[in-house]
Amino acid sequence: MTTPLAPVLLDVAGLSVSFATDRGRVTAVDDVSFSVRSGEILAIVGESGSGKTVTLMSILGLNDPRTTFVDGSVTFRGRPILGLPDRDLRRIRGKDIALISQDPMTALTPVHTIGWQIAEQIRAHEAISRAGAARRAVELLAEVGLANPAEAAGRYPHQLSGGMRQRAVIAMALSCNPALLVADEPTTALDVTVQAQVLDLLMKLRKDFGSAIILITHDMGVVAEVADRVNVMYAGRIIERGTTERLFADPWHPYTWGLIASIPPLDGPRPHRLAAIPGMPPTPETMPAGCGFAPRCRFALPRCAARPPVQRAPGRSALCVIGPEDRAPRRAEILGPLGDAA
């Protein structure tokens, strides 16, 4: 879908984020680098607490500056934006980079109508009359597939269903034609059928508006369906990355194996129970010095106590000691043999 020639829209390099807490400074994101090209969908996958949301909030400058320390560089359209004063960031936020929140139940202000909230965003970035902004809001609501957009615009969030609210949130994010949409688990809080509709909508919008999308999720099924490229995050680091196709055909990192094994199969016999990864992700306080996944990894070696080496191939990489020669047999223990694994 994406041509490799599309220009880099957002480039994140060496991003580290840590928080000041009562127990001292804890690192939530550790040396994360990735880039997004125009029009592509990049999925960032990981469990809760893996640092996905923190990464995005840092890009948008939405973390509390009094307790958050951000390091590294973020470049948007060739312009460094990390650490810009809030006044300058506000011009980018909502206009060039728009956020779609996780939970549509709480993402809209309860005391204003949907149309008012969309118009508010348009008017924050464009010189347009109140009535003009209100008309645009109705058009956007129609664009995201609300059946009766004019009526929906006059409704309050609590009067809409979850799926309708998420569409309203998406309409709001689209209101200024952003080059980049940041979707923070946009389907997690929704029913399965509505999830599929919202994903379809995102795909359609990418096609119609040409926006790039960073899709944060913990659902490998969603990733397989919509993403062009995948970053797998664990304990604040990107531990594996690659195109969706290659990553699913030939996953390298044991954590990715676990994630793929936990996708419920669509056909064939239903397993007795879905595979799970034993244990819990480390909290920032209990973060091991070396590989963050080692305590839960059945293939862990003494070497894993040190920072893991980067395994590379063109267009992809993983942070793991397991080299290409040892990969297939170990993976087969978790996933069974994968057809044309390289």
C-beta of residue 295 within 8 angstroms of C-beta of residue 282: yes
* Closest by CA position to 278, among listed 254, 307, 246, 243: 254
Name the segment binding another protein (CB under 8 A); options: 75-83, 109-117, 192-200, 312-320. 109-117
Which of helix, strand or coil describes residue 336? coil
Q: Where are the beta strands (DSSP E) in 153-200?
A: 180-184
Largest pairwise CA distance in the chain: 66
57 versus 321: smaller Cβ distance to another protein: 57
Q: How far is the CB of 61 from another protein (least distance, A)?
A: 9
Least separation in angstroms between residue 156's CB and another protein is 4
Beta carbon of residue 275, minimum distance to another protein (angstroms, whole number): 32
In terms of DSSP H, where are the helices of 253-295?
254-261
Q: Looking at 22, 24, 66, 268, which residue binds another protein (CB under 8 A)?
A: 66
Checking 135-142 for CB contacts under 8 A at 24+ apart, the result is: 136/175, 137/171, 137/175, 140/171, 140/172, 140/174, 140/175, 141/114, 141/115, 141/167, 141/168, 141/171
- List the one residue from 125, 135, 296, 316 that touches another protein (CB under 8 A): 125
Site for another protein in 26-65 (CB under 8 A): 57, 60, 62
- Minimum distance, C-beta of residue 196 to another protein, in the bound complex (Å): 23
By CB under 8 A, tell whether 307 contacts another protein.
no
Select from 7, 110, 269, 336 the one that contacts another protein (CB under 8 A).
Answer: 110
As measured in angstroms, the least distance from the Cβ of 114 to another protein is 11
CA–CA distance from 38 to each of 92, 210, 224, 229 (Å)? 16, 7, 20, 13
For another protein, which is the closer residue by CB, 168 or 321? 168
Q: Which of 28, 41, 74, 107 binds another protein (CB under 8 A)?
A: 107
Q: Among 44, 98, 133, 152, which residue sits at the site for another protein (rule: CB under 8 A)?
A: 98
Restricted to residues 150-209, the positions that interact with another protein (CB under 8 A) are 156, 158, 169, 172
| SS3 call for 324 | helix
- How far apart CA 162 and CA 190 sit, in angstroms, is 7
Q: How far is the CB of 157 from another protein (least distance, A)?
A: 9
Type of residue numbered 336:
G
Q: Which is nearer to another protein, 116 or 299 (CB)?
A: 116
Q: Is 108 near another protein (CB under 8 A)?
A: yes
Residues found in the chain: 342
Interface with another protein (CB under 8 A), residue from 124, 224, 249, 300:
124
In whole angstroms, how close is the CB of 50 to another protein at the nearest point? 19
Count of Cβ atoms closer than 10 Å to residue 138 Cβ: 21
Are the C-beta atoms of residues 200 and 146 closer than 8 Å to each other? no
Cβ proximity to another protein: between 98 and 294 the closer is 98
CA terminus-to-terminus distance, the chain: 23
Interaction between residue 90 and another protein (CB under 8 A) = yes
State in angstroms the smallest separation of the CB of 209 from another protein: 17
Q: How many CB atoms lie within 10 A of CB 90?
A: 14
Supply the minimum distance, in Å, between the C-beta of residue 279 and another protein.
29
Which parts of this chain interact with another protein (CB under 8 A)?
Answer: 57, 60, 62, 66, 86, 90-95, 98-99, 101-103, 106-112, 120-121, 124-125, 156, 158, 169, 172
